[in-house]
Amino acid sequence: MAPQVILGITAGISAYKACELLRRLTETGHDVRVVPTPDALRFVGEATWAALSGHPVATDLWTGADQVPHVRLGQSADLVIVAPATADLMARAVAGMAGDLLTATLLTARCPVLYAPAMHTEMWEHPATQANVALLRDRGAIVLDPASGRLTGADSGPGRLPEAGEIFAAAMRVLARGVGGLGQDLAGRKVVISAGGTREELDPVRFIGNWSSGRQGYAFAETAVARGAKVTVVAANVALPDPAGTRVIRVTSALEMREVVLAEAADADAVVMAAAVADFRPAERSGTKIKKNDSEPAPIGLVRNPDILTELSARRNTAAGSPGLLPVAQRPGQVIVGFAAETELDLAGIQAKLARKGCDLLVVNRVGNGLAFGTSDNEAVVMGADGSRTEIARGPKEVLADTVWDLVAPRLRSKVALRGSHIGIKCHQPRSG
C-alpha cells in the first residue's frame, strides 16, 4: 500500500512552490491528499491541487461530513507535511485550535508532522514564533529552519521556504524511520555535529588541508533532523547546501572550530565530531604570499592543534563529577561520538585511541584511494567505551549515520536515568549543621 501523505498548504506567497513538492511525492508513489487552508486558495487554486494530487480538495469541516474527514485524514496518514507553514498556522497548532480542516487534521494525526516554515524575517525571529517552534519541537514535530534569501518585494533574509527537493528529502528520511510515528527517538534533543575539513593557512593564498567534503557530517545532521533533533552544524569549508532544518555555523581553522564547538556543546545532549580536524598548523603564517624563487623553499615548521574531542570528553567527565560547579563544562549526561580516519584498521590501536579520547563511541573508517572522503558512501566499525563493537557495511552515508544514531539513542536514555538518580540522591542528603 502506498504511503499516505497529507500535504497542508497555508496562505503564504510561497504556496506555489509546494506544487513541485507535490509532484515529487506523487511521482515516487505516495498517495497525497492536499489540505489547504481557505486563504491558501487565494495563492494557488483548488483545481491545481486536485489535478496534481488526483484527489478532490476540501478546506472546510463540512464537505463530506459523513466521512468525518477532520478525524479520518489524520488517523490514516503516515506523514503530514505543512509547506509553507506560516507563523499563524504554527501558533494555532501550538494552541490546539481546530477551526479548519488542516488544523483539525493536525490535532488527530498520530504520525510524524513536518513543518516547513516560510514568512518574513521579522515574523520568524519574533519571540512568539520562536517559542511556538520550540514547543512544536518539544512535542515531537519536525520543524525545518527556513532558508535565507530573497523574500517578497525587496526584502531578503531568513524566512524563505526551503527548496522542494530539500523538503522532499527530509520527508523521505522521516518515512524511512518507520510509519505511524516511530523513529522520533531524538525529539527534543539538541545535537551538535562538526563537518568538513579544517584549513590551516600558510599565507593569504595557501593552506594545509584535507579532502573531507562534509558529506558524512551533513548526513548525520539530516538524519538527526528526521529523528526530531534540534541540530547545530559546525561546518569547516563545506560547499554543500545547508541541511534543511539545521543551524549552520561556518568556520575555517581548527582553532575556530574548537571555540565554536565547545561553546555550542555546553548544553547539547549529543556531540558528533565528524569533521576532519587538522592535527597540526604552521607555526607561523606569512602576512604576504610566499614568493617562489630560485632557491629551495624553507621548511614549514608545524605546531600541534588542540584535540577538540579529548577536550570535550574531559569537560563532560569533569562536569559529571562536579555537577553545577563548572558553568562552562559540558552537560554531564552528554553522549560524545568521535571519528577516526585511518588508512589501516589496527583494532588494538583503535581501542587505545578510544580510551585516550574518552568518548562514548569512536567511528573508525578507512580513508584514501577513493574511500570515504568526497564519496556518497562509507563503511566503518564503531567501537564503544562499554566494549561493544558494531560493523557497518559499505553503503550510503545516511545509513551509517542512522546506525550510529541507533547506538546513541539508548545511551542518551541511560545517561539521563543515571543523572536523574544521582541528582535525587543529592537532593535527599541531610543538611549539615
Query: pLDDT (tens digit, 9 = 90+) per residue, 2-12?
Result: 889 999 999 99
Distance CA 383, CA 370 (A): 23
Distance CA 111, CA 76 (A): 9
Same domain, 164 and 272: no
- Does 294 fall in a domain? no
* Domain C-terminal end among 127, 151, 176: 176
Distance CA 430, CA 433 (A): 9
Same domain, 276 and 160: no
- List active site positions: 210
The total number of residues shown for the chain amounts to 433
| CA 239 vs CA 35, 232, 242: distances in Å | 36, 17, 9
The answer to whether 3 touches 30, Cβ cutoff 8 Å, is yes
Amino acid residing at 281: R
Average pLDDT over residues 12-21: 95
DSSP H helices, 119-192, are 121-125, 127-138, 164-176
Query: pLDDT (tens digit, 9 = 90+) per residue, 105-150?
Result: 999 998 989 999 999 999 999 999 999 998 998 888 888 888 888 8
Distance CA 207, CA 383 (A): 33
- Does 432 fall in a domain? no
Domain that holds residue 106: 4-176
Same domain, 232 and 377: yes
- Does 288 fall in a domain? no
When pLDDT is cut at 50, 70 and 90, the band that residue 348 belongs to is confident
**What average pLDDT is seen over the chain?**
86
Same domain, 12 and 59: yes
Cell 493536525 identifies what position?
106
The answer to whether 315 touches 329, Cβ cutoff 8 Å, is yes
Same domain, 88 and 195: no
- Does 234 fall in a domain? yes
The answer to whether 8 touches 82, Cβ cutoff 8 Å, is yes
Peptide bond into 84 cis (omega under 30): yes
* Domain C-terminal end among 176, 204, 227: 176
* Domain C-terminal end among 126, 143, 176: 176
- Does 251 fall in a domain? yes
Residues 6+ apart with CB under 8 A from 251: 198, 234, 235, 236, 257, 260
In this structure, what DSSP letter does residue 366 have?
Answer: E
**Number of domains, the chain:** 2
CATH, residue 143:
3.40.50.1950
Distance CA 273, CA 33 (A): 40
| CA dihedral (217, 366, 396, 334) positive or negative | negative
Task: Specify the pLDDT at position 148.
Answer: 83
Same domain, 263 and 307: yes
- Does 296 fall in a domain? no
For residue 42, how many other CB atoms are within 10 A of its CB?
11
For residue 299, how many other CB atoms are within 10 A of its CB?
6
When pLDDT is cut at 50, 70 and 90, the band that residue 375 belongs to is confident
Same domain, 201 and 145: no
Helices 127-138/87-95 angle, 10° precision: 50
| CA dihedral (262, 264, 268, 274) positive or negative | negative
| CA 289 vs CA 198, 201, 295, 335: distances in Å | 20, 11, 16, 43
Same domain, 11 and 119: yes
Phi–psi pair at 308, nearest 5 degrees:
-65, -40
Closest CA to 358 of 378, 334, 379: 334
Same domain, 88 and 210: no
Same domain, 406 and 338: yes
Kindly tell me if the per-residue pLDDT of 416 is higher than 60. no
- Does 200 fall in a domain? yes
Same domain, 87 and 224: no
Least confident of 237-241, 286-290, 425-429: 425-429
Phi–psi pair at 126, nearest 5 degrees:
-65, 140
Average pLDDT over residues 242-266: 93
Same domain, 161 and 269: no
CATH, residue 206:
3.40.50.10300
When pLDDT is cut at 50, 70 and 90, the band that residue 431 belongs to is very low
Burial of 188 (0-12, 13-18, 19+ CB in 10 A): middle
- Does 295 fall in a domain? no
Distance CA 7, CA 102 (A): 9
Distance CA 199, CA 239 (A): 14
Least confident of 55-64, 269-278, 380-389: 55-64
3-state DSSP call for residue 5? strand
Task: Specify the pLDDT at position 325.
Answer: 42
The answer to whether 31 touches 105, Cβ cutoff 8 Å, is no
DSSP 221-249: HHHHHHTT-EEEEEEES--SPPPTTEEEE
When pLDDT is cut at 50, 70 and 90, the band that residue 281 belongs to is very high
When pLDDT is cut at 50, 70 and 90, the band that residue 425 belongs to is very low
DSSP H helices, 187-337, are 215-226, 254-265, 308-321
Peptide bond into 38 cis (omega under 30): no
